[in-house]
């Protein structure tokens, strides 16, 4: 069922407290609603198909499972496979519901069957199709009269079930194991591409927070969830699905005509603003825990504290967070800088942005301007070459993404283990990281100094965008154009810290 039919009943309402519950119109400006319109996803799928043409049908079927779930479900039910490129033309998609993305009815039809098991991952959710009509699950009891009303308006029978509020539901599409392939398309391995559910299970958050409690926070007061005979309910969840991908929301707004986006510009702008606010208040904290003069310069200690229930950044490995540190003299001149983001989206001093076959190591100590602490996952292919091709990746050689509170890296299973030098860094632990900066100054630099530190974030890093440019296809070239035109605004601020160092 198209999301527009859901929105007709679940019109955007405001609780008595003034909290926007965003069950109606606001939903269409989310990443979930636009999963099939994502231009980076289009380019990434095209890249994989060009790299592995022998298995194009398998790639499209796999990738459409969670990005075009309704179209793919119908294709599978008919004995076929999901398609991507036949469905991304806004004027004439092969399936009328392909562009509806992750519709309301997709999540609300997923049954409790196999949730949390490996079989449910990689889009292995089960949608029940009973002979008496389809069921829509929710956390509330619905009386007979409202059941009849919903069945007449939308053909669904509402059914109470609390599994709709459990992390295991989200894990069906947000836990992905990628099948690595050689040049002939043959399987050569498996990569845990994104496993935030497993990271969450290995943290303290499993006892206190579900995915929904952070990404779908509850409204404080009782609220009706429909504009048609709405009944006030307690603990109504906001369907805002706030995450960290404000950059993509900006692209969807700027190029909405080219991409067939239905959300209005002001809706997408508001969603991007809320996403940046969420990232800047809920993800992490940064502090300068120590600073002192030395005989040759300055020593700083930065503490990064994660307040996220999974690794930060999470999921798709194009994402990265890093420390940008600037030291200024009394006149405001920069005497040291590490981690500056350039207008093209690259990070000054980052080995991987400078050379596709290298990557920046994890640092316990940053001792020069060409070193930068970057929290990221770096994968290699079967020849141990660094790659951004998902189906070429066989293992991670670096994974120093910030760990959630309670995460014990010593007992972490291989699928979500810390990789690289961070595994041996005693200050890199569940809940955060400590980084020391040893900054050499000019001999005559004795005046007061100001330190400005930021934890920055990109959902699509420079190298992951840059590697698409070599593919001669409409989708890859289009995204290259988008990135060039918007890279200067690709970084978002997670946290900020400052301190003053007195004159010597």
DSSP letter for each residue of 141-192 = ---HHHHHHHHHHHSPEEEE-GGGGSHHHHHHHH-EEEEEE-TTS-EEEEEE
Per-residue confidence (pLDDT) for residue 448, from 0 to 100: 96
pLDDT confidence tier of residue 8, bands split at 50, 70 and 90: low
Strand partners, 290: 301
Mean pLDDT, rounded, for 485-493: 98
Q: Which residues sit opposite 347 in a β-bridge? A: 341
What's the rounded mean pLDDT across residues 434-442? 97
Nearest one of 67, 76, 59, 62 to 100, comparing CA atoms = 67
* pLDDT value, residue 451: 98
Task: Give 375-429 pLDDT, tens digit per residue.
Answer: 999 999 999 999 999 999 999 999 999 999 999 999 999 999 999 999 999 999 9
Asked whether the predicted pLDDT for residue 87 surpasses 90, the reply is yes
* 142-167 pLDDT tens trace: 888 877 877 777 788 888 999 999 99
Pick the range with the lowest mean pLDDT from 227-241, 335-349, 431-445, 452-466: 227-241
Residue 152, judged by CB atoms within 10 A of its CB (0-12, 13-18, 19+), counts as exposed
Give 59's contacts (C-beta < 8 A, 6+ positions apart). 45, 48, 49, 52, 391
Report the sign of the C-alpha dihedral through residues 358, 363, 369, 372, in that order: positive
Rounded Cα gap, residues 347 and 458, in angstroms = 11
Which is it for the CA torsion 147, 153, 155, 161, positive or negative?
A: negative
Two structure tokens written together for 27: 């939903």
What's the pLDDT score for residue 6?
66
The token pair that represents 344 in the structure block: 């093209």
In whole angstroms, give the CA distance from residue 155 to residue 136.
10
Beta strands 157-160 and 365-366, pairing class = unpaired
pLDDT of the residue at 27: 79
CA 131/CA 9 separation, integer angstroms: 25
| Per-residue pLDDT tens digits for 121-146 | 999 999 977 776 789 999 988 888 87
Predicted confidence (pLDDT) per residue in 340-372, tens digit: 999 999 999 999 999 999 999 999 999 999 999
Give the per-residue pLDDT at 5. Answer: 59
Task: State the pLDDT confidence band at 86, using cuts at 50, 70 and 90.
Answer: very high
Split at pLDDT 50, 70, 90, the class of 234 is confident
Task: Give the mean pLDDT of 236-265.
Answer: 94
What pLDDT is attached to residue 224? 77
The neighbour count for residue 229, using CB atoms within 10 Å, is 11
CA-to-CA distance for 337 and 466, rounded, in angstroms? 24
Average pLDDT over residues 170-174: 98
Predicted pLDDT at 504: 86
Q: How far apart are alpha carbons 256 and 263 in whole angstroms? A: 8
Mean pLDDT: which of 10-14, 25-29, 180-184 is highest? 180-184
Instruction: Name the CA radius of gyration of the chain, rounded.
Output: 24
pLDDT of 1 reads 54
- pLDDT of 289 above 50: yes
What confidence score (pLDDT) does residue 408 get? Answer: 98
CB of 302 closer than 8 Å to CB of 338: no
Q: How far apart are CA 367 and CA 351, in angstroms?
A: 15
Report whether pLDDT(434) > 70: yes
Q: Which of 31-40, 226-235, 318-327, 431-440 has the lowest mean pLDDT?
A: 226-235
């Amino acid at each position: 069922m198209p999301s527009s039919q859901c929105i007709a009943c679940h019109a955007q309402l405001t609780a008595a407290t003034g909290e926007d519950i965003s069950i109606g119109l606001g939903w269409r400006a989310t990443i979930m609603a636009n999963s099939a319109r994502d231009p980076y996803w289009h380019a990434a799928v095209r890249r994989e198909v060009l790299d592995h043409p022998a298995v194009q049908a398998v790639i499209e079927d796999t990738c459409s499972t969670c990005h075009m779930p309704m179209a793919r479900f119908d294709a599978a039910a008919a004995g076929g496979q999901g398609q991507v490129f036949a469905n991304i033309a806004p004027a004439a998609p092969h399936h009328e519901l392909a562009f509806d993305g992750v519709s309301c009815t997709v999540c609300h039809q997923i049954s409790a069957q196999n949730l949390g098991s490996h079989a449910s991952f990689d889009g292995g959710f089960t949608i029940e199709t009973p002979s008496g009509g389809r069921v829509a699950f929710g956390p509330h009891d619905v009386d007979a009269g409202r059941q009849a009303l919903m069945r007449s308006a939308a053909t669904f029978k509402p059914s109470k079930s609390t599994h709709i509020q459990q992390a295991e539901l989200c894990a069906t599409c947000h836990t992905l194991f990628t099948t690595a392939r050689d040049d002939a398309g043959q399987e050569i391995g498996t990569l845990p591409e994104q496993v935030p559910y497993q990271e969450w299970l290995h943290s303290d958050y499993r006892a206190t927070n579900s995915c929904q409690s952070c990404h779908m926070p509850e409204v404080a007061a009782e609220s009706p969830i429909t504009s048609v005979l709405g009944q006030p309910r307690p603990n109504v969840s906001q369907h805002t699905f706030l995450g960290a991908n404000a950059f993509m929301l900006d692209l969807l707004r700027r190029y909405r005509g080219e991409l067939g986006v239905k959300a209005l510009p002001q809706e997408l702008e508001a969603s991007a603003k809320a996403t940046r606010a969420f990232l800047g208040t809920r993800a992490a904290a940064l502090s300068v825990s120590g600073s002192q003069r030395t005989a040759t310069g300055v020593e700083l200690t930065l503490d990064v504290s994660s307040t996220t229930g999974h690794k930060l950044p999470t999921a798709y490995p194009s994402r990265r967070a890093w420390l940008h540190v600037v030291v200024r003299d009394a006149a405001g001149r920069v005497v040291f800088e590490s981690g500056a983001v350039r207008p093209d989206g690259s990070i000054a001093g980052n080995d991987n942005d400078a050379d596709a076959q290298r990557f920046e190591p994890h640092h316990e100590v940053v001792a020069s301007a060409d070193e930068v602490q970057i929290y990221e996952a770096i994968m290699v292919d079967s020849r141990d070459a660094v790659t951004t091709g998902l189906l070429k990746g066989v293992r991670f050689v670096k994974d120093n993404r910030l760990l959630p509170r309670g995460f014990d890296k010593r007992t972490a299973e291989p699928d979500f283990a810390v990789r690289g030098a961070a595994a041996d860094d005693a200050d890199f632990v569940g809940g955060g990281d400590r980084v020391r900066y040893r900054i050499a100054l000019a001999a005559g630099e004795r005046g007061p100094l100001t330190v400005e530190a930021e934890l920055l974030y990109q959902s699509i890093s420079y190298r992951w965008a840059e590697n698409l440019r070599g593919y001669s296809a409409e989708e890859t070239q289009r995204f290259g154009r988008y990135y060039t035109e918007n890279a200067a605004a690709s970084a978002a601020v997670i946290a900020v810290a400052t301190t003053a160092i007195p004159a010597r």
